[in-house]
C-alpha cells in the first residue's frame, strides 16, 4: 500500500495556488529545489506525470488536476484536525438579549459569524423590551444585552444613535384624529416618551390598545386605527413613517446601547461583543 506524504501534497496545492514553483517556495518557506524535489517524489510514488514542464510556465496534467482535488481536501482535513486538537476548545452557552425591534438586520449576521468562529458555543437569544432586558441583565440572566434608550447608564456603551419616528398605516389618517389613538406594549420603553411628548404638546390622546403582543399592535396600526413609534430603519414592512408636517410632536433620539459582564471577558464573549459593535455601527 502506497501512502501519500502530506508535505508533498501541500507543495502541490501551493504550486497551484501560487501559479508556479518559485512563488510556492516562498509561500512554504522552502527553496525552489526543495519544492521541485517534493513534486518529483509525488510523481515517482504515483508513477504519473502531474506537471507539464515543457512550457515557460508550469501547468497541470489531467492526472495532476485529479490529484489536486484530493490534495486540497486532505490538507484541509489535516489542518482542521490539528487545530481542533491543539487549540483551546470553547463550549457552553452565551445569553444575548436584544429588543425585538432591532433584531434585524444585524443580529442574524452576528449569530452566523459567531457560530463560524465558535461552533461549540450556543447563543441563547432573548428578544424582549429594554426594561425587561435590563432587569434580566441586573440579575445575571444575560451575558450581554442591547437596549434602546435616550441615555446610557453606567458601564454601558452607545453603539449608535437613531431618530425615533411616529409610524402608521400607509396613506392612513389616524394621526390626524383627536384624541389621538395610540397603541403600545405595557413594557415598551417608547411608550412613556410618546405620552410625554403628546402631553407637552397639549395633544389629547387615548390608549386604544395596550398589549405586549407586537402582532396585535401592528395589526391595529396597519388598519389605521391608531399610531405607534419605531426607530428609523426598524419600521415593520406594512407600516410607514408618518409625514405629519409638525402636527405631531418630535420624539427624542434613541441610543442603541450595549451592556456586558464587567471585568476580563472570555475570548468568545469578547468576540461576540466585537461583532455587535461592528454590525450595529455599520447599519
Read off the pLDDT of residues 77-86 as tens digits, 9 standing for 90 and up. Answer: 888 787 777 7
Would you state the pLDDT for residue 52?
Answer: 87
Same-domain pairing of 42 and 21: yes
Q: Of 218, 248, 246, 215, which is closest to residue 230 (Cα–Cα)? A: 218
pLDDT by residue for the chain (283 residues), tens only, comes to: 788 999 999 999 988 888 888 888 887 888 999 999 999 999 999 999 998 887 777 789 999 999 999 999 999 888 878 777 776 667 899 999 999 999 998 999 999 999 988 888 999 999 999 999 999 999 999 999 999 999 999 899 999 999 999 999 999 999 999 999 999 998 899 999 999 999 999 999 999 999 989 999 999 999 999 999 999 989 998 999 999 999 999 999 999 999 998 888 888 999 999 999 999 987 7
Q: How far apart are CA 64 and CA 51, in angstroms?
A: 6
Domain with residue 146: its CATH number is: 3.40.190.10
pTM here is 0.67
Distance (Å, whole) CA 200 – CA 219: 28
Instruction: Tell whether 16 is covered by a domain.
Output: yes
Q: Which of these three, 55, 86, 117, is where a domain ends?
A: 86
pLDDT at position 91: 81
Total count of residues recorded for the chain: 283
Contact assessment for residue 275 and residue 99, using Cβ atoms and an 8 Å cutoff = no
Q: Which of 54, 86, 118 is the last residue of a domain?
A: 86
Based on the fold, state whether residues 151 and 262 are members of the same structural domain. Answer: yes
Packing angle of the helix pair 62-86, 6-18 (nearest 10 deg): 110
Q: Are residues 168 and 245 in the same domain?
A: yes
Q: How far is the C-alpha of 130 from the C-alpha of 188, rounded, in Å?
A: 7
Q: Are residues 139 and 259 in the same domain?
A: yes
pLDDT of residue 53: 82
Q: How far apart are CA 267 and CA 169, in angstroms?
A: 45
Whether 133 and 273 share a structural domain: yes
Q: Give residue-wise pLDDT tens across range 197-210.
A: 999 999 999 999 99
Which residue carries 461576540 as its cell?
272
**Residue 111 lies inside a defined structural domain of this protein:** yes
Enumerate residues 6+ apart whose C-beta is below 8 A from 104: 234
| In-domain check, residue 1 | no
175: buried, middle or exposed (CB in 10 Å: 19+, 13-18, 0-12)?
buried
92: helix, strand or coil: strand
Question: How high is the pLDDT of residue 67?
Answer: 93
Q: Which segments of 29-108 are extended strands (E)?
A: 51-52, 59-60, 92-99
For the sheet containing 239-241, what is the strand order?
Answer: 228-231, 164-169, 239-241
Both 147 and 81 in one domain: the answer is: no
199 and 245 share one domain: yes
Residue 88 pLDDT: 66
In a domain, 15, yes or no: yes
* Residue entry with cell 389613538: 181
Rounded to the nearest 10°, the torsion over CA 228, 230, 233, 234 is: -90
- The domain in which residue 275 lies consists of 92-159+255-282
d(CA 71, CA 14): 10
Amino acid at each position: 500500500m502506497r501512502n501519500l506524504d502530506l508535505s508533498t501534497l501541500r507543495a502541490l496545492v501551493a504550486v497551484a495556488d501560487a501559479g508556479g514553483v518559485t512563488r510556492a517556495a516562498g509561500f512554504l518557506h522552502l527553496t525552489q529545489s526543495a519544492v521541485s524535489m517534493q513534486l518529483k517524489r509525488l510523481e515517482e510514488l504515483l508513477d504519473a506525470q502531474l506537471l507539464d514542464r515543457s512550457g515557460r510556465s508550469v501547468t497541470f496534467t489531467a492526472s495532476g488536476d485529479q490529484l489536486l482535488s484530493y490534495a486540497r481536501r486532505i490538507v484541509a482535513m489535516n489542518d482542521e484536525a490539528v487545530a481542533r486538537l491543539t487549540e483551546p476548545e470553547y463550549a457552553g452557552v452565551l445569553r444575548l438579549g436584544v429588543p425585538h425591534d432591532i433584531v434585524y438586520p444585524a443580529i442574524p449576521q452576528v449569530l452566523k459569524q459567531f457560530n463560524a468562529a465558535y461552533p461549540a458555543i450556543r447563543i441563547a437569544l432573548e428578544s424582549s423590551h429594554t426594561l425587561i432586558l435590563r432587569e434580566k441583565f441586573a440579575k445575571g440572566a444575560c451575558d450581554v444585552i442591547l437596549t434602546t434608550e435616550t441615555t446610557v447608564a453606567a458601564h454601558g456603551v452607545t453603539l449608535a444613535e437613531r431618530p425615533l419616528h411616529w409610524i402608521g398605516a400607509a396613506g392612513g389618517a389616524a394621526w390626524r384624529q383627536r384624541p389621538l389613538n395610540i397603541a403600545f406594549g405595557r413594557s415598551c420603553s417608547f411608550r412613556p416618551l410618546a405620552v410625554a411628548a403628546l402631553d407637552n404638546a397639549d395633544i389629547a390622546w387615548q390608549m386604544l390598545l395596550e398589549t405586549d403582543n407586537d402582532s396585535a399592535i401592528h395589526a391595529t396600526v396597519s388598519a389605521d386605527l391608531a399610531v405607534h413609534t419605531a426607530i428609523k430603519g426598524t419600521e415593520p414592512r406594512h407600516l410607514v413613517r408618518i409625514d405629519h408636517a409638525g402636527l405631531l410632536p418630535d420624539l427624542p433620539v434613541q441610543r442603541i446601547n450595549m451592556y456586558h459582564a464587567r471585568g476580563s471577558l472570555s475570548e468568545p464573549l469578547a468576540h461576540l461583543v466585537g461583532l455587535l459593535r461592528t454590525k450595529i455601527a455599520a447599519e
